[in-house]
Amino acid sequence: MPKECRRKTSKDFGLSGINEGSRLERRSAGNSSQICDELLQKAAQIAPTSATAVPTVMDVRRVPQVTITPEGGGCSREMRQEDWDDAVDSTLRRKLSNSSISSTGSSAVESEDDLLSDNESRSKGIITLEHLADTGESKPWWKLKTIVQWPFRATQRRKLNWVQLAGHKGNFKAADEGTILKKFSENEMQCFEKLRGDVLLPFVPGYHGVVEKEGESFLHMTDLLANFDLPNVMDCKMGVRTYLEEELVRARERPKPREDLYKKMVEVDSEGPTPQEHSQRGVTKPRYMQWRETMSSTNTLGFRIEGIKKCDGTCRTDFKKTRSKQDVIQVFNDFVGGNINIITSYLSRLTEIRQALKMSEFFKQHEVIGSSLLFIHDHTGNAQVWIIDFGKTTALPEGQMLNHDIPWQEGNREDGYLWGLENLIHTLESVINNGTSEQTCCSFEENSQAMEADGQ
């Protein structure tokens, strides 16, 4: 497998109008034009019509959507509207602000060395977003160094969308209107190919094939935020486990303590590392991931909040210790500004997703790790949830299937996705009931029994 196929990818959002005139696109599949037509039709069916029909061209080169990426991992960074306004008339016209929101998915890696070899490009931080020029291949990409100022006037800014809340540096490029390019991952590409014929298709970003640019491959995807006006975005990472079993095995066979992970751990909890980890100033990846799971609600609820970007420009990723159901309720409440209608819309979408997951052949046959649910709403009341990030979603051996709602034990590859979703639904119901829902989040066993009783 080529190196780039093994590297990490990052968050993707995408589902709205796509530009048929994309010059750069090269379909990976043989029957590409047919697939393209199908995708266009499907995207058109799914996407609300109002926002996509006539893209707003703001500049000769067009303005790419903003990528929102944390600087320094889990640190929270608040960026207020005034800060952005101050920057409007600065000389830094084409530099886009990047604050943070979530971590990224990744492709399956073959060894832990891979996790270390290209660390810089995969760490969270300020990233560079390059824009696809409007005219002709010969035109160089418009390189947008990401810094802290927002470069556009308020009137222009209203027309922009944020593309992404991503982690790994350099994994995204802006593309034609309504689409984005995400660094190629063999794993993720295979998932998108398989999802073409699955009931989950309406809930995942539109996928428009593989694109090659400057010697690099990308997945061409629809921008999920394109249909929103000043969206609020939340990323929830699903499941009780955020690392692959194979990562665990590799770390056991060849432990590779990482200093960057050690530092991230100490930043949150100076007593997190063991004495040995302190002395070597390093922790292994699975150890770090497990620690993240126990600190947050991943272990207790089967999902965790990774980050939130609000329409006022503020951005938070300091949810590493958001663990209890009550904490999560509070975060959701704040996210929707107490608007119960938004929560109700989210709930109805989550119920549809749950239904589709239970019917999905794809879901049965895959270990879903590091995948997120992306919540997006805006002031118009438009509220959607999408299933994103399939970089670590891995097919099971032929004939094997997962329940997704029973406890994980090494070897069974269970991910707790459905259990987490059930708890997420209960949590949102509690938001509606002002945190006083009768329904409490349940244990794996209770959940399985309830599902059996429901005949599910």
Q: Does 178 bind ligand I3P (CB under 6 A)?
A: no
Q: Does 377 bind ligand I3P (CB under 6 A)?
A: no
In angstroms, the CA 364 to CA 200 distance is 12
Which range of residues in 28-36, 102-110, 145-153, 358-366 is near ligand I3P by CB under 6 A? 102-110
Q: Does 316 bind ligand I3P (CB under 6 A)?
A: no
Distance between terminal CA atoms of the chain? 39
CB-wise, 220 or 287, nearer to ligand I3P?
A: 287
Number of continuous H segments (helices) and E segments (strands) in the chain: 17, 17
Two tokens at 95? 């530099």
In angstroms, the CA 393 to CA 368 distance is 4
The contact mask relative to ligand I3P for 386-415 (x = CB under 6 A, - = no) is ------------------------------
Which range of residues in 103-111, 221-229, 327-335, 403-411 is near ligand I3P by CB under 6 A? 103-111
Element (H, E) at 176: none
The contact mask relative to ligand I3P for 272-291 (x = CB under 6 A, - = no) is -------------x---x--
Residues that contact ligand I3P, how many (by CB under 6 A): 16
Of 77, 426, 427, 16, nearest in space to 231 by CA: 16
The contact mask relative to ligand I3P for 58-97 (x = CB under 6 A, - = no) is ---------------xx-----------------------
- Angle (CA) 189-230-209 rounded to 5° is 15
CB-wise, 264 or 426, nearer to ligand I3P?
A: 264
Which range of residues in 75-83, 98-106, 172-180, 327-335 is near ligand I3P by CB under 6 A? 98-106
Number of residue whose CB is nearest ligand I3P: 106
The contact mask relative to ligand I3P for 218-257 (x = CB under 6 A, - = no) is ------------------------x---------------
Question: In a 3-state reduction of DSSP, which class is residue 418?
Answer: helix
CB-wise, 120 or 361, nearer to ligand I3P?
A: 120
306, 240 Cβ separation under 8 angstroms:
no
Q: Does 11 bind ligand I3P (CB under 6 A)?
A: no
User: How far are the Cα atoms of 10, 96, 334, 456 from residue 453, in angstroms, in the given order?
Assistant: 38, 52, 35, 8
- For helices 285-295 and 245-253, the axis angle rounded to 10 degrees is 130
Please list the residues that pair with 219 across neighbouring strands. Answer: 182, 210
In angstroms, the CA 416 to CA 2 distance is 31
Q: Does 315 bind ligand I3P (CB under 6 A)?
A: no
In angstroms, the CA 264 to CA 4 distance is 26
Q: Quick one: which of 39, 115, 191, 225 contacts ligand I3P (CB under 6 A)?
A: 115
Report the 10 Å Cβ neighbour count for 455.
Answer: 5
CB-wise, 241 or 310, nearer to ligand I3P?
A: 241
The contact mask relative to ligand I3P for 40-59 (x = CB under 6 A, - = no) is --------------------
DSSP one-letter code for 140: P
Q: Does 296 bind ligand I3P (CB under 6 A)?
A: no
Q: C-beta of 51: minimal distance to ligand I3P in Å?
A: 31
CB-wise, 114 or 378, nearer to ligand I3P?
A: 114
In angstroms, the CA 155 to CA 77 distance is 24
Q: C-beta of 186: minimal distance to ligand I3P in Å?
A: 14
CB-based burial of residue 275 (10 Å sphere; 0-12 exposed, 13-18 middle, 19+ buried)? exposed
76, 318 Cβ separation under 8 angstroms:
yes
Q: C-beta of 201: minimal distance to ligand I3P in Å?
A: 24
Q: Quick one: which of 65, 106, 217, 393 contacts ligand I3P (CB under 6 A)?
A: 106
CB-wise, 296 or 423, nearer to ligand I3P?
A: 296
Question: In a 3-state reduction of DSSP, which class is residue 112?
Answer: helix
Rg, the chain, Cα only: 21
In angstroms, the CA 416 to CA 413 distance is 9
Question: In a 3-state reduction of DSSP, which class is residue 96?
Answer: strand
Q: Does 122 bind ligand I3P (CB under 6 A)?
A: yes
Q: Does 8 bind ligand I3P (CB under 6 A)?
A: yes
Q: What φ, ψ does residue 329 adopt, rounded to 5°?
A: -60, -45
CB-wise, 104 or 232, nearer to ligand I3P?
A: 104
What is the binding site for ligand I3P (CB under 6 A)? 8, 73-74, 103-106, 115, 122, 124, 242, 264, 285, 289, 292, 370
